[in-house]
């Protein structure tokens, strides 16, 4: 083209005429009334409290804001969970807000699904389109359950249920089965709540089964502080059982590398030692456990330390020693996370680990294993009823105890046509990256026959949202409202997540988007939807939650919470001991909640009725009818994985190992990948292989290796190390992204052809070319038939030196093979052919009653009683 | 920066406005018609632009333009045309405040038209310069010589402090990102125009 002044003037003249003719304002900006001259100097810096949500710990923060721009995030010292400290992810949180790869406008797909072609549309157009589709479906008389909603992280506390219940669809799908659902389903029938709050700060002994609590598990930021208080301040001993020398294991007094999935048998053997040597707390068992000490002794006798050594590799003498130490340390606590529970029969493992604090009477004691404390808020009225229709996507057949559902089966169920979907909504979710056999999800999302219409509320274009038909972009966690509560400390709290700035660009808070959709779907209220969304604004909705909370109300309710972020105010945090002080006295938690007098209590101890535990008997139910009636062993037992063991013998062949994954302290599964400060710290994930194993296989450090599962293979590099069990290969999550942004994909300037932008000065600082390799596609589905969890740490793989033609980063996975694993895992459910084979001890037990599957809403509503 | 009386300030102003429109939003139906069959076609073709691809179904042409607009300026993976992004790699660095302060200092306000847009969008910066030209023209017409000088000086200062600081490099990168028959020449055209303006203003 020719560019010269003559052209400029000609085109400029024509442009003037064109702009005038098209009605574009020739007078560009408006002159403010009076031609106001403003000179802002010395900008005010505001402090706005919020609740972090980079991960799910829900710590309290303070945002420092200038000119509606966040300049710094800090921990909120008034928050009893994190006591003024944020982790690295929390500190880097503002980069989520200002990421130029964030979606700031509604986008509509143009071209094929996943092709990456979008056009910007107005909110009006976007909302009309989605509302129109939903309204048409509702009016069509087709089953309402064809309207589906899948979430990955839901901190709305019931809002998604409100939405789906109002639409009359039971097809709400969560993510908990890829998280710790079998831990929850081990705990809930045993003592009521689905989680524990160990009093690490005051303990003398910690047994940690399979949690990397200093880095990544629930509630790592608060608990890392308390563990350090306990270990450094209280001289507590910490013993970690983990397949990998995590940073937690490394900071423990002892690390015992266990064979995957055998923590449970180690715990059972320890319990056996404690019972048989008379080291148990007879009084506690007598008062509070629903089986007697003798019954326990008889049951546990089968789990000898030698048997546990055979499976776990932990020496019998160590098992005996640690059992004795634990039982006599007083107070002592255990802690578990995904290590024991993310296996076939992981729920049994969790129940086995729980035995240790129970039989030693360390429950609800200072320094012991305590019930979670919580505080609530008011519900928002009116509230729609849960629909009566049943969706197998919400709750599949033959998983009667999987109260937190079996979300990782959904893609397979859809492929098999178990349920039909008309409209699919996706929120804070990325199964095409985070789920096992993630390629199957990709296939499902691509198929317009399976998912005819796909709406996402995602603020990023991820491995999943790239397949959406329309994006109605949500805000970041620093621009939204939620009520919050987590048992991250023994001092209970509620907190507020509030927008610390206005939503950026045209992004809209999900709660507001749904409100507007609802009002468009049902403008006159005739569909009975409008009334549930007539609350005005998200802020009003929060007001309804908080204004009536006793205690808070007197202080000023929601307005007080907006200023302070967290309730109650426990006083001033002392930098000397990190305790709260009020009137010169340290604020101490309350212990012995089960012992509180309660006229309605089911258990009488010391002649008085006590509050007890949230079980049918009010006692700790080491023997649980919930399991028994559903066809499982009512006692804590160990089941060796048939992929790993046969007749007590390990059956791994030459080159075979168990693949495990793990998380880093600077990353969540997927959402932090484009946060440059974090990705600079961790961006690649070589496979950890034990040095002796590697030597046998001729693999050297940094060699290219091929890891092959029954689903497919991946090619990565070897990290040859002493820090891993010899039968295990470990590959971290959070790396190997194929979407999500430049930092997520290590797109530096050297790759300018593929990614021409060079705007961010930090792109020059991408000194790495390696973005890692994501293992999830090759991980087969393997489901705990009790709690419904994915057995993330069960896959048997062959590790070998890379073959000719293999390239770093190759991931090849077969949908057919993944489906075959799904079919296999169904054979372990209560109706499957392997169920009885795995439970020979129940051959003479009464036939399990047919279990009624109850369609439930939010997982918090889970009440095992419904299953009775 | 003072235009000599012979220089057609209107055309320069309108060119700023034209580019502001092109970067601020997708081409709409009325503008498409002006480009493909209205008064803009001849001078654009004379400058060497091939506009045949825009002929035929208007909606298809508009969709094609909208997809490329999104790929270049809107969606993740594009290069959003903001000074903060171009210079700091993220939205709303303090540069954005500086730009808005500049607008406010001269009494200009853009939020009525674009309430949710950050102030340092390329389109707004160009729009602001056009506004300063217009203010200068009005001052001149009203014989407010001092004001005329103030607006002219403001234009030069804004061009130097802001537009010149990032737009030329932005155009260079954006041009590498597209082969689109409309947006590539338009980006090159805008680059040449802004270069000439910078040169002319001697900033
Ligand atoms: S642990 Fe870190 S990321 Fe998670 S809530 Fe706390 S500060 Fe935020």
pLDDT single digits (tens) A118-143: 999 999 999 999 999 999 999 999 99
- The answer to whether the CB of A478 is under 6 A from ligand 1 is no
- The answer to whether the CB of A484 is under 6 A from ligand 1 is no
Q: Determine the residue of chain A that is closest to B21 in CA distance.
A: A24
Domains of chain A: 45-98 (2.20.25.90), 107-179+390-557 (3.40.50.740), 192-374 (3.40.228.10), 650-835 (2.40.40.20)
B21 vs A contacts (CB less than 8 Å): 19, 24
A375: left (phi over 0), alpha (psi -120 to 50) or beta: beta
Cβ(A426)–Cβ(A204) below 8 Å: no
Rounded distance from Cα A158 to ligand 1 centre (Å): 22
Look at A749 and B136; give whichever has higher pLDDT: B136
Give me the pLDDT at residue A867, please: 37
pLDDT tens-digit readout, A604-619: 999 999 999 999 999 9
B6 has pLDDT over 60: no
Task: Kindly give the pairing relationship between strand A423-427 and strand A453-456.
Answer: parallel
Residue B1 covered by a domain: no
CB atoms under 10 Å from CB of A20, counted, come to 12
Rounded distance from Cα A740 to ligand 1 centre (Å): 21
Q: Do B11 and A8 touch (CB under 8 A)?
A: yes
Q: Which atom of ligand 1 is nearest to the CA of A668?
A: 3
Q: Do B110 and A100 touch (CB under 8 A)?
A: no
- Residue range of the domain that includes B157: 6-200
Q: What is the mean pLDDT of residues B181-197?
A: 95
Query: Quick one: how far is CA B104 from the chain centroid?
Result: 19
Q: Smallest CA–CA separation between B183 and chain A, in Å?
A: 13
Q: Do B70 and A759 touch (CB under 8 A)?
A: no
Q: Do A3 and B189 touch (CB under 8 A)?
A: yes
> How far is B183 from B180, CA to CA, in rounded Å?
5
Rounded distance from Cα A219 to ligand 1 centre (Å): 9
- The answer to whether the CB of A356 is under 6 A from ligand 1 is no
Ligand 1 atom 6: residue of nearest CA:
A59
Q: Element (H or E) spanning A308, and its range?
A: helix A305-312
- The answer to whether the CB of A795 is under 6 A from ligand 1 is no
Which among A49, A56, A57 is the best mutation to test ligand 1's pocket, defined by most ligand atoms within 8 Å of the CB?
Answer: A57
Best of A2, A10, A14 to disrupt the B interface (most B CBs within 10 Å) is: A14
A756 has pLDDT over 50: yes
Residue B128 covered by a domain: yes
Q: Do A69 and B97 touch (CB under 8 A)?
A: yes
A125 vs B contacts (CB less than 8 Å): none
Q: Cβ neighbours of residue A611 under 8 Å, at least 6 residues apart? A: A593, A594, A595, A596, A597, A598, A601
Best of A29, A466, A674, A738 to disrupt the B interface (most B CBs within 10 Å) is: A29
Residue A306 structure tokens: 């030698």
> How far is A609 from A137, CA to CA, in rounded Å?
54
Which among A49, A63, A82, A227 is the best mutation to test ligand 1's pocket, defined by most ligand atoms within 8 Å of the CB?
Answer: A82
Which among A61, A84, A87, A219 is the best mutation to test ligand 1's pocket, defined by most ligand atoms within 8 Å of the CB?
Answer: A87
State the virtual CA torsion across B34, B39, B44, B49 in degrees, nearest 10.
Answer: 50
At A32, the pLDDT band (50, 70, 90 cuts) reads low
Q: Element (H or E) spanning A333, and its range?
A: strand A332-336
Q: Do A105 and B97 touch (CB under 8 A)?
A: no
- The answer to whether the CB of A55 is under 6 A from ligand 1 is yes
Half-sphere exposure of A346 (CA within 13 A, CB side): 33
> 3-class DSSP state for residue A240?
strand
Q: Which atom of ligand 1 is nearest to the CA of A61?
A: 7
Give me the pLDDT at residue B7, please: 54
Q: Which atom of ligand 1 is nearest to the CA of A91?
A: 7
- The answer to whether the CB of A668 is under 6 A from ligand 1 is no
- The answer to whether the CB of A59 is under 6 A from ligand 1 is yes
At B5, the pLDDT band (50, 70, 90 cuts) reads very low
Best of B89, B111, B127, B176 to disrupt the A interface (most A CBs within 10 Å) is: B89
Provide the angle, in degrees to the nearest 10, between the axes of the packed helices A305-312 and A263-276.
170
Give me the pLDDT at residue A548, please: 86
- The DSSP letter of residue B121 is B
Rounded distance from Cα A600 to ligand 1 centre (Å): 39
Give me the pLDDT at residue A855, please: 41
Q: Smallest CA–CA separation between B144 and chain A, in Å?
A: 15
State the virtual CA torsion across B62, B67, B73, B77 in degrees, nearest 10.
Answer: 180
At A797, the pLDDT band (50, 70, 90 cuts) reads very high
B66 vs A contacts (CB less than 8 Å): 110, 119-120
Q: What is the mean pLDDT of residues A297-308?
A: 98
> 3-class DSSP state for residue B144?
coil
At B69, the pLDDT band (50, 70, 90 cuts) reads very high
Give me the pLDDT at residue B4, please: 43
Ligand 1 atom 4: residue of nearest CA:
A55
Q: Do A29 and B103 touch (CB under 8 A)?
A: yes
Q: Do A756 and B43 touch (CB under 8 A)?
A: no
Give me the pLDDT at residue A688, please: 98
DSSP A526-549: TTS-GGGG-S-SHHHHHHHHHTT-
> How far is A472 from A466, CA to CA, in rounded Å?
13
Which among A52, A61, A214, A665 is the best mutation to test ligand 1's pocket, defined by most ligand atoms within 8 Å of the CB?
Answer: A52
A515 has pLDDT over 70: yes
Give me the pLDDT at residue A763, please: 77
Q: Which residues is A732 bridged to in the sheet?
A: A662
B85 vs A contacts (CB less than 8 Å): 100, 759-760
State how many domains chain B has: 1
- The answer to whether the CB of A216 is under 6 A from ligand 1 is no
Q: How far apart are the first and last CA of chain A?
A: 78
CATH number at residue B119: 1.10.3480.10
B113 vs A contacts (CB less than 8 Å): 25, 29-30
> 3-class DSSP state for residue A692?
helix
Q: Do A103 and B34 touch (CB under 8 A)?
A: no
At A868, the pLDDT band (50, 70, 90 cuts) reads very low
- The answer to whether the CB of A672 is under 6 A from ligand 1 is no
> How far is A542 from A540, CA to CA, in rounded Å?
5
Task: Kindly give the pairing relationship between strand A205-209 and strand A197-198.
Answer: unpaired
A672 has pLDDT over 60: yes
A811 has pLDDT over 60: yes
Which residues of A141-236 form beta strands (DSSP E)?
A: 147-151, 172-173, 197-198, 205-209
A40 has pLDDT over 80: no
A122 vs B contacts (CB less than 8 Å): none
Give me the pLDDT at residue A491, please: 97
Q: Do A3 and B192 touch (CB under 8 A)?
A: yes
A144 has pLDDT over 90: yes
Q: What is the mean pLDDT of residues A267-271?
A: 98
pLDDT tens-digit readout, A541-554: 999 999 989 999 99
ipTM of the complex: 0.94
Looking at chain A, how many residues does it have? 868
> How far is A771 from A686, CA to CA, in rounded Å?
10
Specify the range with the lowest mean pLDDT, choosing from A7-11, A210-214, A326-330, A427-431: A7-11
Percentage above 70 pLDDT, chain B: 96
- The DSSP letter of residue A457 is -
Work out the mean pLDDT of chain A and round it to a whole number: 93
Q: What is the mean pLDDT of residues A240-247?
A: 98
Residue B131 covered by a domain: yes
B202 has pLDDT over 70: yes
Size of interface A-B (CB pairs under 8 A): 240
A267 has pLDDT over 50: yes
Rounded distance from Cα A56 to ligand 1 centre (Å): 7
A862 has pLDDT over 50: no
Rounded distance from Cα A251 to ligand 1 centre (Å): 21
Q: Smallest CA–CA separation between B181 and chain A, in Å?
A: 12
DSSP A268-296: HHHHHHHHHTT-S-HHHHHHHBSS-HHHH
pLDDT tens-digit readout, A105-122: 999 999 999 999 999 999
Percentage above 70 pLDDT, chain A: 94
């Amino acid at each position: 083209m020719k560019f010269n002044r003559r052209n400029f003037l000609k085109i400029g003249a024509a442009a003037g005429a064109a702009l005038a003719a098209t009605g574009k304002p020739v007078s560009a900006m408006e002159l403010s009334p009076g031609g106001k001259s403003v000179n802002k100097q010395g900008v005010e810096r505001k402090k706005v409290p919020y609740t972090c949500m980079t991960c799910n710990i829900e710590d309290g923060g303070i945002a420092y804001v200038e000119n509606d721009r966040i300049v710094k995030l800090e921990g909120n010292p008034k928050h009893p969970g994190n006591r003024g400290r944020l982790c690295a992810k929390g500190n880097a949180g503002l980069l989520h807000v200002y990421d130029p790869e964030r979606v700031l406008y509604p986008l509509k797909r143009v071209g094929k699904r996943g092709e990456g072609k979008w056009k910007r549309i107005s909110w009006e157009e976007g909302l009309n389109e989605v509302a129109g589709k939903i309204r048409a479906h509702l009016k069509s008389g087709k089953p309402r359950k064809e309207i589906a909603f899948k979430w990955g992280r839901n901190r709305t506390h019931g809002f998604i249920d409100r939405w789906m219940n109002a639409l009359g669809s039971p097809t709400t799908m969560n993510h908990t089965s890829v998280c710790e659902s079998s831990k929850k389903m081990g705990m809930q029938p045993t003592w009521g709540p689905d989680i524990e709050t160990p009093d690490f700060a005051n303990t003398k002994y910690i047994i940690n089964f399979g949690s990397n609590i200093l880095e990544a598990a629930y509630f790592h930021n608060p608990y890392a502080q308390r563990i350090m208080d306990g270990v450094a301040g209280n001289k507590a001993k910490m013993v970690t059982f983990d397949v990998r020398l995590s940073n937690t294991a490394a900071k423990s007094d002892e690390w015992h590398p266990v064979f995957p999935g055998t923590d449970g048998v180690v715990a059972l053997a320890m319990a056996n030692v404690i019972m048989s040597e008379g080291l148990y707390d007879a009084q506690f068992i007598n008062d509070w456990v629903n089986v007697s000490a003798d019954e326990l002794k008889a049951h546990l006798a089968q789990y000898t330390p030698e048997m546990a050594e055979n499976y776990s590799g932990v020496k019998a003498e160590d098992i005996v020693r640690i059992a004795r130490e634990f039982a006599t340390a007083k107070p002592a606590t255990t802690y578990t996370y995904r290590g024991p529970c993310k296996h076939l029969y992981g729920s049994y493992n969790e129940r086995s680990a729980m035995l240790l604090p129970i039989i030693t009477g360390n429950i609800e004691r200072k320094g012991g294993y305590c019930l979670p404390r919580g505080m609530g808020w008011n519900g928002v009225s009116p509230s729609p009823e849960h629909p009566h229709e049943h969706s197998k996507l919400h709750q599949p057949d033959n998983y009667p105890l999987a109260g937190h559902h079996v979300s990782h089966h959904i893609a397979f169920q859809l492929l098999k046509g178990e349920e039909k979907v008309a409209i699919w909504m996706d929120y804070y979710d990325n199964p095409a990256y985070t789920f096992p056999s993630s390629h199957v999800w990709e296939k499902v999302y691509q198929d317009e026959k399976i998912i005819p219409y796909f709406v996402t509320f995602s603020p990023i274009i991820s491995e999943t949202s790239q397949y959406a038909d329309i994006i109605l972009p949500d805000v970041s966690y620093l621009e939204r409202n939620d009520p919050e509560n987590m048992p991250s400390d023994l001092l209970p709290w509620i907190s507020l997540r509030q927008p610390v700035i206005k939503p950026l660009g045209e992004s809209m808070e999900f709660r507001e988007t749904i409100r507007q959709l609802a009002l468009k779907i049902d403008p006159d209220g005739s569909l009975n939807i409008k009334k549930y969304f007539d609350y005005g604004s998200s802020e009003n909705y929060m007001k309804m939650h908080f204004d009536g909370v006793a205690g808070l109300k007197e202080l000023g309710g929601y307005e007080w919470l907006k200023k302070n972020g967290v309730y109650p105010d426990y006083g001033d945090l002392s930098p000397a001991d990190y305790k709260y002080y009020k009137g010169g006295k340290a604020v101490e938690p309350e212990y012995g909640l089960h012992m509180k007098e309660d006229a309605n209590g089911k258990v009488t101890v010391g002649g008085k009725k006590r509050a007890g535990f949230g079980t049918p008997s009010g006692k700790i139910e080491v023997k649980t009818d919930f399991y028994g009636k559903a066809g499982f062993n009512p006692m804590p037992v160990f089941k060796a994985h048939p992929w790993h063991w046969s007749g007590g013998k390990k059956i791994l062949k030459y080159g075979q190992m168990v693949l495990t994954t793990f998380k880093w302290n600077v990353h969540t599964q997927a959402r932090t990948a484009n946060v440059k400060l974090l990705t600079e710290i961790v961006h690649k994930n070589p496979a950890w292989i034990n040095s002796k194993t590697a030597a046998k296989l001729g693999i050297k450090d940094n060699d290219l290796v091929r890891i092959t599962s029954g689903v497919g293979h991946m090619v990565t590099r070897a990290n040859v190390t002493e820090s891993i069990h010899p039968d295990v290969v470990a590959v971290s999550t959070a790396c190997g992204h194929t979407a999500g942004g430049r930092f997520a994909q290590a797109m530096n300037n050297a790759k300018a052809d593929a990614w021409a932008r060079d705007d961010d000065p930090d792109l020059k600082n991408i000194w790495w070319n390696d973005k890692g390799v994501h293992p999830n596609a090759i991980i087969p589905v393997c489901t705990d038939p009790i709690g419904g969890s994915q057995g993330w740490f069960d896959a048997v793989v062959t590790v070998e030196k890379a073959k000719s033609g293999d390239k770093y980063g190759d991931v090849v996975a077969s949908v057919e093979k993944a489906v075959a694993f799904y079919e296999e895992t169904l054979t372990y459910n209560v109706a499957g052919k392997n169920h009885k084979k795995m439970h020979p001890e129940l051959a003479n037990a009464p036939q399990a009653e047919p279990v009624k599957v109850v369609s439930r809403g939010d997982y918090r509503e889970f009440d095992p009683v419904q299953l009775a | 920066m003072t235009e000599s009386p012979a220089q057609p300030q209107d055309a320069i102003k309108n060119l700023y406005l034209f580019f502001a429109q092109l970067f601020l939003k997708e081409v709409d139906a009325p503008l498409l018609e002006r480009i493909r069959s209205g008064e803009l076609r001849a001078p654009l073709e004379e400058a060497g632009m091939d506009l045949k691809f825009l002929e035929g179904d208007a909606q298809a042409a508009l969709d094609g333009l909208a997809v490329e607009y999104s790929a270049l300026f809107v969606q993740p993976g594009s290069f959003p045309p903001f000074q903060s992004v171009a210079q700091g790699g993220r939205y709303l660095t303090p540069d954005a405040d500086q730009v808005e302060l500049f607008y406010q200092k001269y009494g200009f306000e853009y939020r009525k038209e674009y309430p949710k847009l950050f102030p340092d969008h390329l389109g707004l910066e160009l729009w602001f310069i056009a506004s300063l030209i217009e203010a200068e023209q009005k001052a001149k017409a009203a014989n407010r010589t001092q004001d005329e000088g103030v607006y002219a000086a403001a234009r030069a200062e804004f061009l130097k402090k802001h537009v010149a600081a990032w737009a030329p490099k932005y155009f260079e990168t954006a041009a590498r990102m597209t082969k689109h028959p409309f947006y590539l020449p338009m980006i090159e055209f805008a680059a040449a125009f802004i270069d000439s303006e910078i040169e002319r203003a001697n900033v």
